[in-house]
Chains A and B, each alone.
Chain A
Amino acid sequence: MTASILLDSEIDGNFRSAVGGKAAVLGELMRHDLAIPPFFVIRAEVFAKILKNLSDQECCAGESARLLRQILDVALPDDLTMSVKQGLSHIRGSDQEAVAVRSSAVEEDGETASFAGQFETLLGLRTMQEIAAAVRTCWASLMSERAETYRRLRALKRSPHMAVIVQRLIEPESAGVLFTANPVTYSAAEMVIESTFGFGAAVVQGVSTPDVFKVDRHSESISSHTLGSKRRMCVMEHDGPVSIADTPEHLRTTYSLSDAEVLQLVQLGRRIESIMRCPQDIEWAIRRGQVHILQSRPLSARQSV
């Protein structure tokens, strides 16, 4: 493919500096035959170049807020637009199918700093215009106030390398997060799954209280089920965007995962853990019985004092 983008099949774990932490892991997992929705990545250097141009033009090169606005207005280079179009045809069958546009920064998803939720992810985009706007938003999020605050609190320097994943959007029946160790007690014997109906954004964004399953890793038995209130969920209207809506009454009182699905996730979790060689924070989605892995990163270490 062209220099601006990389296809999923071309990526493995060594491509972090080119495609960011998120994408590199997804590429690596794909090589191990895990079900990852097809994607391509706009390389980090594309944004680095654009950023440099903008900084050179403006005298106040380092000023975040101003740069942010510039980034949101910048025109995509022609060759990039072409590459993206080619990439899109690779990942989806028709122009009506929605995609997700996701930040993949080089500094995120590391072992010391997760940057969880600090950069943008946009769901439910279809037209080239929407996708281009989403790409810009992801780039701009590198310098958002909250990302800057996070860096300051973790004493990290800003690394201006942001790749962007464009991925086929899976519209799931249920989705959520799996931690292969208990992140609160740090017990490796216990895995924790939080799930809800609809898109997993409802769980990672803390939109409402999800169902919680705790599983003993060794016996692979579910040690506790807790029904969450799941008051709100993320849904996609037909041909429309993804938004937050009230969960239908009958779904609120139902578990969003069956026991069999829980165990399926646990087994996948163990596989991913052994590939990545450390406990993982995994985002997953289930559609029509098929489990898709959307993200995986190391369980972030507690900041030592």
Chain B
Amino acid sequence: MQGYLKLVERKGSALFWSLTMRAFSRHFQPALGLRYHVKDYRYEDCTHYISTADLAGLTSLLKETIGTQSDYWEWYLNRCRELGDQLVHTAQRLGASIPAGTDVQRFQEGFESFTEATKNVMPFLLSTSIAERLVEEQLRHAIQQESTVAAGIVDGATVLAELRASAAPNAPLEEMRHCYQLAWTINDDQRLRETVLRLSADAFIEELRVLRPELEREIASHVEQYGWLRTYAYRFEPMRQADLIERIRTVIRLNRIPRWERPRQGVDLRSILSREPSDELRRWASLIEQLVAVRFYRSTVHWRADTLARPFFHALAASQNMSRNDLVFCTEDELLAGLQGGRFPDLCELRLREQNWYNMRLLDDVIALETNAAPSMTASRGLPLTLKGSTASMGRVVGRARIVLSAEDRRDVREGDIVVTTMTTPDFMDVLEKCAGIVTDEGGILCHAAVISRELNVPCIIGTGEASHMLRNNMTIEMDATQAEGIVNCVHDAEETDGGGVL
């Protein structure tokens, strides 16, 4: 669209995004301590756009007033986390004490406190890309200064790339690591190991409460912290404790130890620059790292809050004789109106929205709804993606997808990546060393590559048909190769988090 820049892509719950746009248009300036009124923005094809003129105005305002002040950015980051924590806290509170079915008052209060908390944190979460850009400039500037002084030129871009790569967290991978840690702890204890393999998941949790209460608490907190990963952006129910126990059982039974054991190291500025960095440089570098982390925090805060508040929304929906899935396709106003005794939109209307991925456009106070035909699998970025194939080598792993179609692609594979390719050949030895799993379009379970995968304990799913087309680089995918039919799920599309956009 000419004259406009992509703001951020909408996905998932209409409820959340109606809140987002409200927040953006109304709360941006007070929240960030800035006065700027966005005059012109549009919404089309699941994407929000801001006019280039508005963006220029906003950027120069930020640059002039606070761009150079690292103090401001520290305040910004702290405030962002504070408000994010408040949102999660509110969600926790809601999920923990659910009003009775008839207590409309309390439902309304709960809902309003949730939307309030979301609106407060939204402007921060939306603006991290711009923040990054501004801080980057400062960092580059600082590097330049020091480079000329020390007569050694270091490319700012290299430093930035390093910082970004090390700061980008990978929640699914962390979840997996933690799950394995729990599995080993249980495995190392003879009695626990025998018990977990023998009893049902629920019975085992009971046993654990008696035998090792601290472990039971760890399991509960794992589910609380990571349960949202299973929801595929609001659509499905989160992980329960029993699910986690099942996975631990699988890990123990298959006796699999993954290769990505090393925890990520922080970035060593000193070695990149080949000298001691100045305090100022350190400060800007640390800000970049934190901003990148916050960029990812954006979606995790959403999803965590949604997961924690889920029981509340289930109950709210039930009190109005609706299902939660119907509820998420109401707008904020419709929901409040409905609670206050007015009418909710027709069920068929809501189902239609869900089916056709309704887009919402905010025109001042009027929310207009438009239908789009359900987008095709490759065009849509929001639908959860599942592929099926045959298991050639057993295991279960989560990692970043890497599409490999040439020898050059093979060289780009990093440790812990899941390689996705048309078919494997014996040349894949160098990749087998590093990858956490292999997914192929073609092939059989008796070919050489399958034999080697089994010997090296690398999970392998073959014959998916189109994995190399459907999956994309940097998607976080999960391979479930524990049955004869192997399943590959896209857990998280990195491009969605980045937004690819400006704010």
Does B426 interact with chain A (Cβ within 8 Å)? yes
Bound: A212/B391 CA distance, A: 13
Bound: A205/B451 CA distance, A: 11
Residues 175-233 of A at the B interface (beta carbon under 8 Å): 176-177, 179, 183-185, 192, 194, 203-210, 212, 228-229, 231
Are A192 and B446 CB-contacts (below 8 A) given A146-B429, A153-B433, A184-B392?
A: yes
Chain A residues lying within 8 Å of B257, measured Cβ to Cβ, are 305
Chain A residues lying within 8 Å of B89, measured Cβ to Cβ, are none
Chain A residues lying within 8 Å of B433, measured Cβ to Cβ, are 149, 152-153
Q: Which of B440, B454, B455, B457 contacts A206 (CB 8 A)?
A: B440
Bound: A209/B433 CA distance, A: 24
Smallest beta-carbon distance A187→chain B, Å: 10
Smallest beta-carbon distance A10→chain B, Å: 29
Chain B residues lying within 8 Å of A301, measured Cβ to Cβ, are 455
Does A154 interact with chain B (Cβ within 8 Å)? yes
In the complex, the answer to whether B451 meets A209 with C-beta atoms within 8 Å is no
Chain A residues lying within 8 Å of B105, measured Cβ to Cβ, are none
Are A203 and B446 CB-contacts (below 8 A) given A114-B455, A208-B423?
A: yes
Are A304 and B255 CB-contacts (below 8 A) given A183-B445, A192-B446, A209-B463?
A: yes
Are A183 and B454 CB-contacts (below 8 A) given A118-B429, A146-B429, A209-B463?
A: yes
Are A305 and B256 CB-contacts (below 8 A) given A185-B484, A205-B426, A206-B440?
A: yes
In the complex, the answer to whether A303 meets B456 with C-beta atoms within 8 Å is yes
In the complex, the answer to whether A153 meets B432 with C-beta atoms within 8 Å is yes
Smallest beta-carbon distance A114→chain B, Å: 6
Most chain B CB within 10 A, of A203, A205, A300, is at A205
Does A281 interact with chain B (Cβ within 8 Å)? yes
In the complex, the answer to whether A302 meets B444 with C-beta atoms within 8 Å is no
Residues 240-263 of B at the A interface (beta carbon under 8 Å): 255-257
In the complex, the answer to whether A184 meets B484 with C-beta atoms within 8 Å is yes
Q: Which of A185, A205, A231 contacts B447 (CB 8 A)?
A: A205
In the complex, the answer to whether B426 meets A146 with C-beta atoms within 8 Å is yes
Are A206 and B456 CB-contacts (below 8 A) given A114-B451, A185-B484?
A: no
Are A303 and B455 CB-contacts (below 8 A) given A153-B433, A204-B448, A206-B440?
A: yes
Chain B residues lying within 8 Å of A176, measured Cβ to Cβ, are 446
Query: Chain B residue with minimal CB distance to A149?
Result: B429
Query: Chain B residue with minimal CB distance to A208?
Result: B442
Chain A residues lying within 8 Å of B305, measured Cβ to Cβ, are none
In the complex, the answer to whether A210 meets B444 with C-beta atoms within 8 Å is yes
Bound: A97/B364 CA distance, A: 83
Bound: A185/B486 CA distance, A: 13
Smallest beta-carbon distance A303→chain B, Å: 5
In the complex, the answer to whether B457 meets A303 with C-beta atoms within 8 Å is yes
Smallest beta-carbon distance A199→chain B, Å: 13
Bound: A139/B287 CA distance, A: 56
Does A248 interact with chain B (Cβ within 8 Å)? no
In the complex, the answer to whether A194 meets B394 with C-beta atoms within 8 Å is no
In the complex, the answer to whether B454 meets A231 with C-beta atoms within 8 Å is no
Does B238 interact with chain A (Cβ within 8 Å)? no
Bound: A209/B462 CA distance, A: 9
Residues 143-176 of B at the A interface (beta carbon under 8 Å): none
Chain B residues lying within 8 Å of A15, measured Cβ to Cβ, are none
Chain A residues lying within 8 Å of B392, measured Cβ to Cβ, are 184
Q: Which of A179, A184, A185, A206 contacts B443 (CB 8 A)?
A: A206
In the complex, the answer to whether A150 meets B446 with C-beta atoms within 8 Å is no
Smallest beta-carbon distance A191→chain B, Å: 11
Are A302 and B457 CB-contacts (below 8 A) given A150-B429, A206-B424?
A: yes
Bound: A194/B425 CA distance, A: 17
Query: Chain B residue with minimal CB distance to A176?
Result: B446
Chain B residues lying within 8 Å of A113, measured Cβ to Cβ, are 455
Chain A residues lying within 8 Å of B462, measured Cβ to Cβ, are 206, 209
Smallest beta-carbon distance B430→chain A, Å: 6
Query: Chain B residue with minimal CB distance to A297?
Result: B451
Q: Which of A152, A194, A207 contacts B446 (CB 8 A)?
A: A194
Query: Chain A residue with minimal CB distance to B486?
Result: A184
In the complex, the answer to whether A179 meets B455 with C-beta atoms within 8 Å is no
Chain A residues lying within 8 Å of B432, measured Cβ to Cβ, are 149, 153
Query: Chain A residue with minimal CB distance to B428?
Result: A146
In the complex, the answer to whether A206 meets B425 with C-beta atoms within 8 Å is yes
Q: Which of A153, A184, A205 contacts B448 (CB 8 A)?
A: A205
Q: What sequence of 0s and 1s flags, for each residue 143-165 of chain A, a beta carbon within 8 Å of any chain B beta carbon?
A: 00110011011100000000000
In the complex, the answer to whether A231 meets B442 with C-beta atoms within 8 Å is yes
Bound: A152/B430 CA distance, A: 11
Are A117 and B255 CB-contacts (below 8 A) given A208-B443, A302-B454, A305-B457?
A: no
Does B393 interact with chain A (Cβ within 8 Å)? yes
Are A206 and B447 CB-contacts (below 8 A) given A146-B426, A149-B433, A229-B442?
A: yes
Smallest beta-carbon distance B380→chain A, Å: 26
Q: Which of B442, B443, B446 contacts A281 (CB 8 A)?
A: B446
Does A116 interact with chain B (Cβ within 8 Å)? yes
In the complex, the answer to whether B452 meets A150 with C-beta atoms within 8 Å is yes
Chain B residues lying within 8 Å of A304, measured Cβ to Cβ, are 255
Chain B residues lying within 8 Å of A303, measured Cβ to Cβ, are 455-457
Does B449 interact with chain A (Cβ within 8 Å)? yes
Does B427 interact with chain A (Cβ within 8 Å)? yes
Chain A residues lying within 8 Å of B256, measured Cβ to Cβ, are 305
Are A206 and B423 CB-contacts (below 8 A) given A150-B429, A153-B433, A212-B444?
A: yes
Query: Chain A residue with minimal CB distance to B463?
Result: A209
Chain A residues lying within 8 Å of B457, measured Cβ to Cβ, are 302-303, 305
In the complex, the answer to whether B484 meets A281 with C-beta atoms within 8 Å is no
Chain B residues lying within 8 Å of A183, measured Cβ to Cβ, are 445-446, 450-451, 454
In the complex, the answer to whether A116 meets B430 with C-beta atoms within 8 Å is no
Chain A residues lying within 8 Å of B456, measured Cβ to Cβ, are 153-154, 303
Chain B residues lying within 8 Å of A179, measured Cβ to Cβ, are 446
Q: Which of A116, A149, A185, A192 contacts B451 (CB 8 A)?
A: A116
Residues 269-294 of A at the B interface (beta carbon under 8 Å): 281
Chain B residues lying within 8 Å of A114, measured Cβ to Cβ, are 451-452, 455
Chain B residues lying within 8 Å of A192, measured Cβ to Cβ, are 445-446
In the complex, the answer to whether A281 meets B451 with C-beta atoms within 8 Å is yes
In the complex, the answer to whether B448 meets A146 with C-beta atoms within 8 Å is no
Smallest beta-carbon distance B256→chain A, Å: 7
Bound: A231/B422 CA distance, A: 12
Q: Which of A116, A177, A184, A203 contacts B394 (CB 8 A)?
A: A184
Bound: A46/B339 CA distance, A: 89
Query: Chain B residue with minimal CB distance to A211?
Result: B444
Bound: A228/B394 CA distance, A: 21
Are A184 and B391 CB-contacts (below 8 A) given A206-B424, A305-B457?
A: yes
Q: Which of B255, B426, B446, B455 contacts A177 (CB 8 A)?
A: B446
In the complex, the answer to whether A117 meets B448 with C-beta atoms within 8 Å is yes
Bound: A149/B427 CA distance, A: 10
Q: What sequence of 0s and 1s flags, for each residue 386-403 of chain B, a beta carbon within 8 Å of any chain A beta carbon?
A: 000011111000000000
7 A-B pairs (CB sep. < 8 Å): A117-B426, A194-B447, A205-B425, A206-B447, A206-B450, A210-B444, A302-B454
Q: For the A-B complex with A117-B448, A206-B450, A281-B446 known, give 6 more contacts whose Cβ atoms are closer than 8 Å.
A: A114-B455, A117-B449, A118-B429, A194-B447, A206-B423, A208-B443
